[in-house]
Structure 1
Amino acid sequence: MSSRTVPGAAVSAFARDRAELLLRLTWVGPGLLAGLIVLTVLGAAVPASAAVAVGWLIDRLVTGGSAVAPLAAYALAVLTGHAVAAARQPLGYLAAARVDGRHRAELSRLAAGSDTIGALERPDVQALIRTARADPESFMDGTPGAGALAQLDLIGRALALAGAGVVLAAYAWWAVPLLLAAAVVVHQLRWDEGRQRRRVWRHVPLPSMRADVWSDALVSPAEGKEVRIFGLGDWALERIDGHLRAAYDPLWPVNRRILARQWRQFLLVLVPLGVVYLVVAVDAARGGAPVAVAAAALVAGAGLFDAFADSPTATINATTCLRAFDRLRDELGQAPHREHNPSCTPGSGPPLVRFDGVGFTYPGSGQRVLDDLDLEVRPGELLAVVGANGAGKSTLIKLLAGLYEPTAGRITADGVDIADLGPAAWRGRLSVVFQDFVRYYLPAAENVALGNAAVAPDLAAVAGAARDAGLDEVVSRLPDGWHTPLARTRTGGVDLSGGQWQQVALARALYAVRTGARLLVLDEPTAHLDVRTERDVFDRLAAHRGDASVILISHRLSTVRQADRIVLLRGGRITESGTHEQLMAAGGEYAAMFTVQAQRFQRGFDDRLHEGDLT
């Protein structure tokens, strides 16, 4: 871009940003918007009305006439200004809340509507989300609501400027461009100051987010246990202080430079106003103009500067928020959003799933997690996937769920690429229990029914899923049964153990199966359960395997013996496949791992698969 086109582009972006903010005022509703417009027009009329009233009052005092009418006019102007300010504050707060609420809803819809989670895992995208969230935590954070109201204020100041200019021009037209030019320069200086602060502030989100992690840990009941046991309080405070210094320290030199230059704005206000005031006063003293007209001119002259007295911070911060939202939309929209193709709908039963030459590499990494992987999941079978930590088992599940897209190959269901099915249609037939499942601090029944939020809650299915997961005994001991909140921070709530929470997550997935899912994926679903409870759970799963296909990932090989088929994942590929008996007879890696774990269990140690079991 040439230097000649930069000013034009800057003006275009400036106008676009202000227009975009102004259009958001339509989100507040017609009644509230009409009220704000009326208040803005009334407020804009106050400076000129006050100037005229002052001139009228002085004229009456000089001529000896009655001062009642001008005093009443002046009082009305002043009271109108106060009334407008008093009424506008709550209405402006409500309007900003509506704009910001809708903006945050659209941001949440944008983030939740992303087909995959790869972009959401990136720190730069998380920083964009923080900036675009419009949830101010400091004086430099801005919201679209505040920015939109600032544009309405700008219109009001323009009207006030025009009124004050007319009053001043009636006495001395030359004073209008003089004061106006000075006011514009002062406003531009303030705008540049805001831009300087914002250029530094754009680097704040990442260190500030790191500080928030430790701030939340210090007040969280969950992390609070380790904070106290390990004596992490002072250490965490030092980390918070370090991150905040990294975030805010670069801002102080900028502020010091800005403060050191404030004399320029002082002179730009003092000199032009001083010249106008001096000329008007001398002219009035010599009888060149009536004192009343001179007084009105003095008040109007001050009104020109008042029209530019606002800080542009609200507009700058709001436009930064909007630009972050635009960039976030680009980042989350890089992969095309796939809609459901009705012609690609597979059968209603458990699907035949195939991984055909699937490869996957995480962005920014040169190492392939999966490499030309071929795998078949037959309808209604219980398939166990085993392998050491880091073998790619969880990645395989995320690819199957459509949370990542393969970098090579494809995944099909009944011969149809799951990408062509569309994420919503495919996930409606899929249920997953992840290792890092979410603990929802809701009543027990809602925790389970969240397994399929697309259908109306089915209490019978909730109870059935709880029985299959072994959760019914836990619920029977809760003080308020299914209505008990699963959080001690909730009124009447209780906390659950790790194993009990795992049963809740498993019941959630089984509820999805009872309400339509035909492929159940369990990633270490019983890691926190004792051996007896785990065996009971798998017995129930095995009994229902015909209703849905089940993919089971487990480090405890003794629990996968009853699977219809076991596959070993290593080096990004399936290296062994067969029943437990077949794999043991083959004497390969699976047989070696199983033998090691069995010996460890006999000696009283944990029998789960560890990294060293494959070497």
Structure 2
Amino acid sequence: MHRHTETIRRYALHARLLWRAAPVHSVLNLLLVVASAATVTFGIVATGQLVGTLPAAVKAGVGSAAADRAWLWLAAAAAAYILAPLIHAVHSAVTQVVSARYLRLVFGMVADVGTAPYGIAHLEDPEVAGRLDAVKRAMRDWTFVTGVDETWNLLANRLTGAGSLIVVATWNWWAALLAAGSYALLAKVFVAWIGTIFDDLLEATGNQRRQASYVRDLMTGAPAAKELRLFGMADWLVHRYSTAWRDAMTVVWRNRYHNLRPILVACAIMLIVNAGVFALLARDASAGTVSLASLVTLVQALLALEAFGPLGDNQSALARNTSATTMLIAVRDRLGLPDLPPPSRTEAVEPTEPVAGTPDLSPVTRGRGAEIDLRDVTFHYPTRDEPTVERLSLHIPAGQSVAVVGVNGAGKSTLIKLLCGLYPPDAGTIRIDGGDPSADEATRNRVAVIFQDFVRYHLPLRDNVGFGAHERHEDDAVLAKALDDAGGTTLPDRLEHGWDTVLSAEYAGGTDLSGGQWQRVALARALAAVAGGAGVLVLDEPTAALDVRAEAALFDRFLDVTQGMTTLLVSHRLSSVRHADRIVVIGPTNDPTRTTGTGIIEDGSHEELMAAGGAYARMFSLQASRFAAAGSSETVDQR
């Protein structure tokens, strides 16, 4: 009963998605399906009547009343068989429209899961990530798309079966119900069986299949190819893949064979019932209580009752579809998203025209520095028991450049994520110009960051820079100024298609950039964000791959072109941040009241901290001495 109820719930959800995606076309398709089923049923009746009138027509001859009746039923049968494919052709065209809009809706719902909740904690939750990955893989399978198309064919078959049921009932109502019921029983058991298989593929095998897919991609992709060959990992990976895949599929195979027994029983019942019904029909025909016309009609109708049974790949595809969408809805519910997005989310939004008279401001003069205030902020990751940041307080006036330094694991990058609103703090408050970045989109737009692992988008240079500029990402003047300030003035001229060159060698006409060029593109993206209203610019160790001299030059340039903005620099190389207005050192505080024992231990300018001779001075001198001992030409300046 639970499985039957679940099946009904899934079909109801499927109907809601179809209605939301394409209400008018769905209604039109429904009418076409009804017309198709009625035409097929009428064709069955007309064929039987035609066969029934032929003996009398042949005997009476051409021009007789019997011959006229035969010609009439021939015309009716021909009309039915001609009309059926015409209806199907129109139905197929409408189905394509419905499917396209349905897929756009569902793909948008998946995108919502990844982007609508602003924070990123849910994407790092293994359960949510596993379910989302399972849904995405299911949607890439051909059966998911086929399931949308076959919805209407399945409905047409069921309605044709209903028409045939009415025809058979005119002869014997209880025999009609028995025959249709035997097929329906088999269909119910089959749907439960196939639904369990697809649920297992999505639920029980999620982690193992993800692991198997990861190992498969390692073996067949370019990123790991060098190490795979160098370390002789091929045999080990093949074994690991087969083991992970076998573990993943064990549950599916077990349930698949265990649940075959009810299907075999249902098949036996269907065969026995239908054999009895046909024997009963043969008896009545022999007794003369069923005419030749009725016999031909009833045989066709009894065979058409198969429409109540399982419908093979078509039904499997629909089961695959509904299983994936049900899991998608479950993930959305867990994240507090509505089951279905508002209608406006499914409609194309026309870009707004710029307001007349708006001044064309350059990317570094439009924004203004923002004030940052953190008070007693505590935060811990869900996978860790101890807080990464505990009772941290920090005030940064608008327009000040601040460097955040400290030992690994002190919470520097976590602090940046909190400022971006990617995580809400467990306790305390974070305010940027009085706004909460974890709750207010306008406040979040005031922060632009270059992370250490910044994204190298396989998109044109224009987009790679313009993404930072929000609504002004198509403004050539903004993009050119940002790239110039980042030291990449000549980059578009070196590319084959200039600003429209795709930054990936995987695409025709595309090209990859060197590490230094990518650094400048990422810096330009952050500088362009000022044109979108950013007031805080952050460099979170994005230059770790550069040498000391290159990193120091980039940081100095960043500070130069962002004067008047609030800037945060995070780096392990203290020589690169010494020109910041202020340096904040995070590290052990020896405070017994703190769980982590970390906090702000020093705060001041480079000169002040060096004169104090504390932790910063020791770390700076240690780094400087290492370069001096190595005879590096890039020895840091201790001034």
TM-score tier after normalising by the smaller chain length? 0.7 to 0.9
Residue of structure 1 in register with 2:451 after alignment: 434
Q: Name the CA shift for 1:137/1:541 in 2 (closer, same or farther; >3 Å).
A: closer
Out of 95-104 and 21-30, give the one that drifted further. 21-30
| Superimposed CA distance per residue, residues 353-375 of structure 1 (whole angstroms, 9 cap, x where no aligned partner) | 12111111111321110111111
1:24 pairs, out of 17, 27, 39, with 17
Are residues 1:59 and 2:52 paired? yes
2:29 pairs, out of 12, 36, 50, with 36
What amino acid does structure 2 have at the position aligned with 1:169?
A
Give the aligned CA root-mean-square deviation in angstroms: 3.1
Q: Name the CA shift for 1:136/1:351 in 2 (closer, same or farther; >3 Å).
A: closer
Q: Secondary structure at the match of 1:547?
A: coil
2:108 pairs, out of 101, 105, 108, with 105
Residue of structure 1 in register with 2:627 after alignment: 601
Map 1:205-224 to 2 at 5 A.
205-224=206-225
| Superimposed CA distance per residue, residues 158-200 of structure 1 (whole angstroms, 9 cap, x where no aligned partner) | 5323321222122222312221321221122112212332342
Report if the CA contact (8 A) 1:47-1:303 is conserved.
no
Report if the CA contact (8 A) 1:372-1:572 is conserved.
no
Q: Secondary structure at the match of 2:398?
A: coil
C-alpha distance in structure 2 between counterparts of 1:30 and 1:196, whole Å: 30
Q: Secondary structure at the match of 1:389?
A: coil
C-alpha distance in structure 1 between counterparts of 2:493 and 2:367, whole Å: 35
Map 1:226-237 to 2 at 5 A.
226-237=227-238
Report if the CA contact (8 A) 2:452-2:541 is conserved.
yes
Are residues 1:376 and 2:379 paired? no
| Superimposed CA distance per residue, residues 426-461 of structure 1 (whole angstroms, 9 cap, x where no aligned partner) | 122111001110001222232111112222433223
Out of 129-138 and 464-473, give the one that drifted further. 129-138
Residue of structure 1 in register with 2:359 after alignment: none
Q: Secondary structure at the match of 1:136?
A: helix
What amino acid does structure 1 have at the position aligned with 2:517?
Q
Q: Secondary structure at the match of 1:368?
A: coil
Residue of structure 2 in register with 1:159 after alignment: 159
C-alpha distance in structure 2 between counterparts of 1:400 and 1:199, whole Å: 40
Residue of structure 1 in register with 2:611 after alignment: 585
Out of 213-222 and 186-195, give the one that drifted further. 213-222
Q: Percent identity?
A: 34
Residue of structure 2 in register with 1:338 after alignment: none
Residue of structure 2 in register with 1:529 after alignment: 546
Report if the CA contact (8 A) 1:59-1:292 is conserved.
yes
Residue of structure 2 in register with 1:387 after alignment: 406
Task: Report the CA distance between 1:417 and its aligned residue.
Answer: 4.0
Report if the CA contact (8 A) 1:25-1:149 is conserved.
no
| Superimposed CA distance per residue, residues 510-561 of structure 1 (whole angstroms, 9 cap, x where no aligned partner) | 1213553211110113222233332332222232343211100001111111
Task: Report the CA distance between 1:376 and its aligned residue.
Answer: 1.8
Q: Secondary structure at the match of 1:602?
A: helix
Residue of structure 1 in register with 2:347 after alignment: none
Q: Secondary structure at the match of 2:374?
A: strand
Runs of 5+ in structure 1 lacking a partner?
1-6, 336-346, 609-615
What amino acid does structure 1 have at the position aligned with 2:602?
E
Q: Secondary structure at the match of 2:391?
A: strand
Map 1:64-463 to 2 at 5 A.
64-65=57-58, 66=67, 67-85=70-88, 88-89=91-92, 91-133=94-136, 135-138=138-141, 142=144, 146=147, 150=151, 152-153=152-153, 155-201=155-201, 202-259=203-260, 262-311=263-312, 312-333=315-336, 349-419=368-438, 422=440, 424-463=441-480
Report if the CA contact (8 A) 1:355-1:412 is conserved.
yes
Q: Name the CA shift for 1:455/1:545 in 2 (closer, same or farther; >3 Å).
A: closer
Q: Name the CA shift for 1:242/1:414 in 2 (closer, same or farther; >3 Å).
A: same
Q: Name the CA shift for 1:458/1:148 in 2 (closer, same or farther; >3 Å).
A: same
Q: Secondary structure at the match of 2:568?
A: strand
What amino acid does structure 1 have at the position aligned with 2:388?
V
Residue of structure 2 in register with 1:470 after alignment: 487
Q: Secondary structure at the match of 1:567?
A: strand
C-alpha distance in structure 2 between counterparts of 1:274 and 1:588, whole Å: 95
C-alpha distance in structure 1 between counterparts of 2:566 and 2:399, whole Å: 4
C-alpha distance in structure 2 between counterparts of 1:607 and 1:190, whole Å: 75
Q: Name the CA shift for 1:607/1:190 in 2 (closer, same or farther; >3 Å).
A: farther
Are residues 1:45 and 2:46 paired? no
Out of 503-512 and 193-202, give the one that drifted further. 193-202
C-alpha distance in structure 1 between counterparts of 2:517 and 2:244, whole Å: 37
Residue of structure 2 in register with 1:340 after alignment: none
Q: Name the CA shift for 1:512/1:108 in 2 (closer, same or farther; >3 Å).
A: same
C-alpha distance in structure 1 between counterparts of 2:288 and 2:464, whole Å: 85
| Superimposed CA distance per residue, residues 437-490 of structure 1 (whole angstroms, 9 cap, x where no aligned partner) | 000122223211111222243322322222332222444433343333211122
Aligned residues: 585
C-alpha distance in structure 2 between counterparts of 1:331 and 1:407, whole Å: 20
| Superimposed CA distance per residue, residues 74-132 of structure 1 (whole angstroms, 9 cap, x where no aligned partner) | 44444544555565455434422320221111321342111211111112111222344
| Superimposed CA distance per residue, residues 192-238 of structure 1 (whole angstroms, 9 cap, x where no aligned partner) | 21233234222223222233334444454444454455554554444
What amino acid does structure 1 have at the position aligned with 2:300?
V
